A and B are shown apart, each in its own frame.
Chain A
Amino acid sequence: MTEEIIIAGFGGQGVLSMGKILAYSGVMQNQEVTWMPSYGPEMRGGTANVTVIVSDERISSPIVHQYDTAIILNQQSMDKFEKTVKTGGILLFDPNGITHPPKRTDIKIFAIDGVEEATRMGNPKTFNMIVLGAYLKIKPVVKTENVEKGLRKSLPERHHKLIPMNIDAIKLGMEKVKEFSL
């Protein structure tokens, strides 16, 4: 199994940390991972994206231009990455702020109202975990228990009290994700 994912949105949406948690979870179940961020001043208020690869084998290129899954969280990223999903691949997006929804018919498209659900949960910071949950429902690349282990390993001790809330957010995302039709 090799899963090549791009996560793209605004800086500040937790794009990079979502990717990091996914990568950590892969490590927790003994898989190979790479996490390659966009970097530099273009991230100042602009777009941020990260390529995460999770695989059972040694990973060759950490840079790919075609993805099994694209998780898209703003319109600029939709414009840039909708076309990069492999045929038969998956596109997951949050309709909030999307003015031109995806149109491709050769891929599977899912939507998650992450912003709305996070606001409803009373904690906008859980947004990226809700989206991660939605993704893991569609593609259970890593087990939820390994996400929890990953969080435990990657977060400093003083933040461990936040882990249950993050796990709840993941479960909520799993519940709320739905197939998107044009």
Chain B
Amino acid sequence: MAAIEIKDIIKKENLVYGKTKILTDNIMHYCPGCSHGVIHKIVAEVIEELGIQEKTIGVSPVGCSVLAYNYLDIDWQQAAHGRAPALATATKRLLPDHYVFTYQGDGDLASIGTAEILHACNRGENITVIFVNNAIYGMTGGQMAPTTLMGMATATSPYGREAALHGYPLKITELIAQLPGVAYVTRQSVQTPAAVRKAKKAIKKGFENQDKKIGTSFIEIVSTCSSGWKLSPVDSNRWMEEHMFKFYPLGDLKDSERNSEEEYKKYIE
């Protein structure tokens, strides 16, 4: 029997999985186990599956995902810390037939950028927001984030988060869900294949909602930051399941009945 060589195996008919073309070949700078990489991949797959590469504009934040523009082959704007929703607002209003999304961390969205996200959502901007909540400032070296859990030790809460000193973790997603301008709010995760599939479905829905012009779609992804948490990637996932999911339960928080622009207009009136 002749030996089988690799080149005999790599054939179109044997292909069971391929990387989406929306993802570039650049090597990601994320730490091993970081959720950002997986989330990038599913956003990219959604853009490919919807065939909207030419009409999609991403707005990247300041945070570890500041360099998202190196990894998704679409047009990008890189915003100042916290201001992505403001950029997205103007972009969507000036290019209404485009798909506009922000990709933001918890420090970016829920601390310095609280005003921008609340008001963009309150105006019901027809954009999709991908909110990566890893409960820490990954990029600057593991400082406390607004979403850091009680008792969690970080570089600026070295003895654990304490309410009297640092306030409570902010459930910004629950707050956002209260706003009438927001059509769809969901909380997902990406630590297992099943979770990834669900998260991807949610992101897809978020993009499809832009066609319907029914208001903002807000997708939180509860994530890990093994470097900031000082845990191995595997332990990070375990820790997230045990602690983060308790405070940030997964699932849909809001899915408006409205299905079209007309219904949305009626709803507003």
Contact = CB atoms under 8 A, between A and B. Distances in A.
Interface in A18-68: 41, 44-45
Nearest to A44: B31
Interface of B: 29, 31, 139, 227
Contacts of B29: 41, 44
A43 to B, nearest CB: 10
B64 to A, nearest CB: 8
Contacts of A44: 29, 31, 227
Contacts of B139: 41
Report, as a range, how many residues of chain A touch the other chain.
Answer: under 10
B26 to A, nearest CB: 16
Query: A interface, by DSSP: helix, strand, loop or mixed?
Result: loop
A60 B139 CA distance: 33
A45 B29 CA distance: 10
A45 B227 CA distance: 11
A44 B225 CA distance: 13
Contacts of B227: 44
A41 B196 CA distance: 28
User: Nearest 5 A-B pairs (CB), nearest first?
Assistant: A44-B31, A41-B139, A44-B227, A45-B31, A44-B29
Contacts of B31: 44-45
A41 B139 CA distance: 8
A59 to B, nearest CB: 28
Nearest to B140: A41
A41 B64 CA distance: 9
Contacts of A41: 29, 139
6 contacts: A41-B29, A41-B139, A44-B29, A44-B31, A44-B227, A45-B31
Nearest to B30: A44
B232 to A, nearest CB: 14
Nearest to A40: B141
A117 to B, nearest CB: 27
A100 B139 CA distance: 34
Nearest to B139: A41
B141 to A, nearest CB: 9
A44 B139 CA distance: 10
A32 B139 CA distance: 34
A44 B64 CA distance: 12
B68 to A, nearest CB: 15
A45 B33 CA distance: 13
A173 B139 CA distance: 37
A61 B56 CA distance: 50
